[in-house]
Amino acid sequence: MKTLSLVSIVFVGAALTLGLTGCVHKPNKNFTVLPDRTRPSATQPATPAETNPGPGTSIPPPSDVQKMPDGSIPYGTNESPWTGVIKDGKPDATILKPDTVYFDVDSATIKKTEDKKLEDVAAFLKGHQADALRVEGNCDERGTEKYNLSLGEKRALAVREYLANLGVDARQVVTISYGKAKPAVEGHNEAAWSKNRRDDFVVLIPKD
Amino acid sequence: MKKSLKIIAALLFSCALAGLAQDSTEVIVIPKTTTHIVPISVSGFSGEADAVLKFDLSVLGLELTNADKADYLVSGTEDAGRLAGRLKQGGAGGDIFARIYSSGTSRSQAHAFADDIVKEIRGTPPIFQSRIAFCRKEGANMELCVSDFDGHDVLQMTHDGSLVATPAWSPGGRNLFYTSWKSGYTQIIEHEAATGNRTVFAAYGGGNFNAVPSPDGSKVAMILSKGGSPNLYVSDRNGGNLQELTHERDEASSPTWSPDDREICYVVRSGRASLHKISANGGNSTLLRVGISGNLTSPDWSPDGKWIIFTAGSGNFTLWVVPARGGEAEQLVAGEDPCWAPNSRTVIFTRQVNHNPVLSLLDVPTKHVKDVGQISGSCSQPAWAR
């Protein structure tokens, strides 16, 4: 009798566990990544393109990117001619390396000294319509990680806005922040810090 | 004459004391001191139990000393898988409690005993069997780890060969939220600690950082830049019903919830970084007045609602604490990125040791600091499971 009830308890326990979790999981070793929950509301279009047809081969969907009154340029949610290359493109960090933009401490303002570089980047993007650009924002070590993640992102967005004001389609440009995690120069003085407060440019080239 | 008066006085005094001692219903209670280092002695233990007791007590600003100088005496033994512990008042004082701890390991029994000791002396709730999460440098990458609060039993939670940042626990410690770069862009990941199951919680265009579940678990605050600038957003626990709370041109960062879930304190960098508060339902924000200037970042709201601790400075960081309604902040110690323990008294933070970040524990009222020496390497961004 005792054995029977013990077995039934184990059985019920296992059934409950299975019911609650759906399957048996190995602790901390295999990660199950479920689909994104990025669609925030019903206003999202439900037709993801399988492949990026590329500009010139079909009429791209209209841009849903509008500059705000305060100058900010939100991200659109519609597919763009660059959705595919942004997702799958081959990154090239060398082409526009000379144009790395530098910032003053605690600032995301684009200095006059950097204008020429951004004109160069804009010209490149206009002349390479199949490519996209990833702007990588970075900070020096003198902020906390939380502060620096936002500041690095703001630095990248500032360049995206600047390029859009030069006529680049904002959908061709994406941003990423590394905070202080990827210094260009190790060191604990202004010589190093000034080289780390930067936006790097990574060109994304279609794979084919 | 004087000498005999003194003797009479001494006799009367000792009679009075004797009278008190004989009155079994009256006990002299040393008040629970909160702001002073308290001398304490520990005897009778060895090995892990001894090490655990001594570490835990020092975290709460109880300073190890000899029995003859101690305000409190901790003693006991371990036998047959059980810990017998006793706390006495120092000097001629009596027992405060004597207890047997029989479940769990030697470490957990010692932690439970230490929690009981601290409860008597400091009046604070238990923390010694709680857990922390943090980021650890692995070569050029960062991975997420969890461990006991004292750095024992470190478990590496991610093996993505990428960067992670800003971990935060859901209430009760079931899930971790953090930002991962493993996809090539920033995504907020929700990670079930016990099973390792992960889902992508948020992967909007632009930056997805610093997700923090509300204390009641019903909402998540986060920083998103999909609107063109990093701003504070709040969603339901499942990521739906996303609301943009701030609309700053120069960016927001580091949200922290009030324990009643009604407000969020966060940072805006407009000129200098400053602290602000906003209702969780949105509306106007207010500046949190702290009485000092400079770059004020990475706030954390104490679980009892009374205090906000934050980081000040650019590079040479210091921790400051201010009443949650605002006021004159008090300087604590050198360090950054603080996170309160469940007892609203202990704080885990990062401090630089020769430019290497290490995790450290602060007893806020005494400003006593104890490094989490058990963890080696470059560790930062600690989050205490509450």
The ipTM estimated for the assembled molecules is 0.90
Q: What percent of chain A has pLDDT over 90?
A: 68
Tell me which residue in B227, B249, B253 faces A149 most closely, judged by beta carbons.
B253
**B200–A38: do the CB atoms touch at under 8 Å?**
yes
Cβ within 8 Å of A, B 37-96: none
**A146–B297: do the CB atoms touch at under 8 Å?**
yes
Nearest residue of B to residue A137 by CA position? B207
The residue ranges of every structural domain in chain A are 83-205
∠ CA B15-B17-B23, nearest 5°, is: 100
Which of A59-63, A133-137, B28-32 has the highest average model confidence (pLDDT)? A133-137
- Determine the pLDDT at residue A19: 43
**B228–A31: do the CB atoms touch at under 8 Å?**
no
CA A190 to the chain's CA centroid: 28
Mean pLDDT of A97-118: 98
Q: Where are the alpha helices (DSSP H) in chain A?
A: 2-21, 83-88, 115-127, 145-165, 190-196
Helices B47-59 and B106-122 sit at what angle, rounded to 10 degrees?
A: 30
Chain A interface includes B106 (CB < 8 A): no
Sign of CA dihedral A177, A179, A185, A191: positive
pLDDT band at A27 (very low <50, low <70, confident <90, very high): very low
pLDDT band at A20 (very low <50, low <70, confident <90, very high): very low
DSSP string, B328-342: --EEEEE-EEEEE-T
- Determine the pLDDT at residue A62: 79
pTM for this entry: 0.85
**B206–A157: do the CB atoms touch at under 8 Å?**
yes
Rounded to a whole number, what is the distance in Å from the CA of B89 to chain A's nearest CA?
A: 43
Chain A interface includes B272 (CB < 8 A): yes
**Cα Rg of chain B, angstroms:** 24
Mean pLDDT of A1-30: 43
Mean pLDDT of A50-75: 75
Alpha carbon distance A172, A81 (integer Å)? 8
**B203–A153: do the CB atoms touch at under 8 Å?**
no
Alpha carbon distance B368, B58 (integer Å)? 8
- Please indicate whether residue A25 or residue A196 has the higher confidence score (pLDDT): A196
Measured between beta carbons, the chain A residues lying within 8 angstroms of B226 are: 74-75
Mean pLDDT of A121-143: 98
Alpha carbon distance A197, B365 (integer Å)? 37
B114-159 confidence digits (pLDDT tens): 999 999 999 999 999 999 999 999 999 999 999 999 999 999 999 9
**A149–B206: do the CB atoms touch at under 8 Å?**
no
How many residues make up chain A in this entry?
A: 208
Q: Which domains does chain B have, with CATH numbers?
A: 33-122 (3.30.160), 131-384 (2.120.10.30)
User: If 0-12 CB within 10 Å is exposed, 13-18 middle and 19+ buried, where does residue A190 land?
Assistant: exposed
Nearest residue of A to residue B162 by CA position? A181
Chain A interface includes B332 (CB < 8 A): no
User: If 0-12 CB within 10 Å is exposed, 13-18 middle and 19+ buried, where does residue B130 land?
Assistant: buried
- Determine the pLDDT at residue B23: 42
**B251–A150: do the CB atoms touch at under 8 Å?**
yes
Interface test with B, best of A146, A153, A173, A188 (most B CBs within 10 A): A146
Question: Which residues of chain B, if any, have pLDDT below 70?
Answer: 1-33
- Determine the pLDDT at residue B93: 87
Question: Tokens in use for B159?
Answer: 């093996």
**A105–B179: do the CB atoms touch at under 8 Å?**
no
Alpha carbon distance B357, B27 (integer Å)? 47
- Determine the pLDDT at residue A57: 57
- Determine the pLDDT at residue B200: 98
Q: So what CATH class is A83-205?
A: alpha beta
Tell me which residue in B228, B295, B297 faces A74 most closely, judged by beta carbons.
B228
Neighbours of B316 (CB within 10 A): 10
Q: Assess contact for A10 and A18: CB atoms under 8 A.
A: no
Mean pLDDT of A158-171: 97
Tell me which residue in B197, B254, B355 faces A147 most closely, judged by beta carbons.
B254
Alpha carbon distance A47, A24 (integer Å)? 34
Cβ within 8 Å of A, B 192-211: 194-207, 209-210
Q: Assess contact for B117 and B87: CB atoms under 8 A.
A: yes
**B200–A33: do the CB atoms touch at under 8 Å?**
yes
